[in-house]
Chains A and B, each alone.
Chain A
Amino acid sequence: GQQLNQSPQSMFIQEGEDVSMNCTSSSIFNTWLWYKQEPGEGPVLLIALYKAGELTSNGRLTAQFGITRKDSFLNISASIPSDVGIYFCAGRDTGTASKLTFGTGTRLQVTL
């Protein structure tokens, strides 16, 4: 099945550093969601974006809905050890009720 392209695939950063990741699609979405998944758990919703150009924050996390509606970005500021996990983007396209198409994931490792 289709998966969105996320980059980078993995990141190893030091505590306190900022993190940027992005997600691109060949098709337009009308909603973008960012999830975090830890080992043995289901994805946890971090941020939801509903409008092209929208910039939304949730604590140290900031996400943006790309103007073209084909991409989205997630930034994490001042990373801490509990930020470790896999971050997935998900898009909901215009032609379906609520099916989500997920990205390939960005694995984040934080070192002290």
Chain B
Amino acid sequence: DAGVTQSPTHLIKTRGQQVTLRCSPKSGHDTVSWYQQALGQGPQFIFQYYEEEERQRGNFPDRFSGHQFPNYSSELNVNALLLGDSALYLCASSSVGQGQVTQYFGPGTRLLVL
């Protein structure tokens, strides 16, 4: 049973560029949440997708956007990158049938903005 997968594992970009990160949820899960984890801190909620719609959003600017596909996979897009966007980006999947409570995380994509 495949767990949550994310790609790429590492990425280096320069300020002002745009980036797309990808996530495939755990088998049987239909909800994807994205988190940003800065060095030395706990993950911070960015947004959540269910039924191909953004259902909930944290305190992140509109430069952060996402998408969910019919197969439940998801993308996180960040435009006009800033140095402060350097972080580990985590995807977590869950199931509506399980109350979306228990979230399982992928290994993350480490983004470095120069």
Interface residue ranges, A against B (CB under 8 Å): 1, 3-4, 31, 33, 35, 40-45, 48, 50, 88, 90, 92, 96-105
| B43, B99, B101, B105 pick with most chain A CB within 10 angstroms | B43
A57 CB, min distance to chain B CBs, angstroms: 17
Contacts of B94 in A (CB 8 A): 98
Interface residue ranges, B against A (CB under 8 Å): 4, 31, 33, 35, 40-45, 48, 55-56, 58-59, 90, 92, 94, 99-108
Please report the C-alpha to C-alpha distance between residue A98 and residue B99 in the assembled complex, in whole angstroms.
8
Please report the C-alpha to C-alpha distance between residue A35 and residue B105 in the assembled complex, in whole angstroms.
10
Q: Quick one: closest A residue to B107, CB to CB?
A: A42
User: In the complex the two chains form, is B107's CB within 8 Å of A41's CB?
Assistant: yes
Known: A1-B59, A97-B55. A102 touches B43 (CB 8 A): yes
Please report the C-alpha to C-alpha distance between residue A100 and residue B99 in the assembled complex, in whole angstroms.
13
User: In the complex the two chains form, is B100's CB within 8 Å of A43's CB?
Assistant: no
Picked from A43, A44, A48, A98, the residue with its CB within 8 Å of the CB of B43 is A43
User: In the complex the two chains form, is A48's CB within 8 Å of B44's CB?
Assistant: no
Contacts of A48 in B (CB 8 A): 101-102
Please report the C-alpha to C-alpha distance between residue A98 and residue B47 in the assembled complex, in whole angstroms.
10
User: In the complex the two chains form, is A98's CB within 8 Å of B107's CB?
Assistant: no
User: In the complex the two chains form, is B101's CB within 8 Å of A50's CB?
Assistant: yes
B21 CB, min distance to chain A CBs, angstroms: 13
Q: Sorted from nearest, which 6 A-B pairs have the closest CB atoms? A: A102-B42, A42-B105, A98-B100, A1-B44, A43-B105, A42-B107
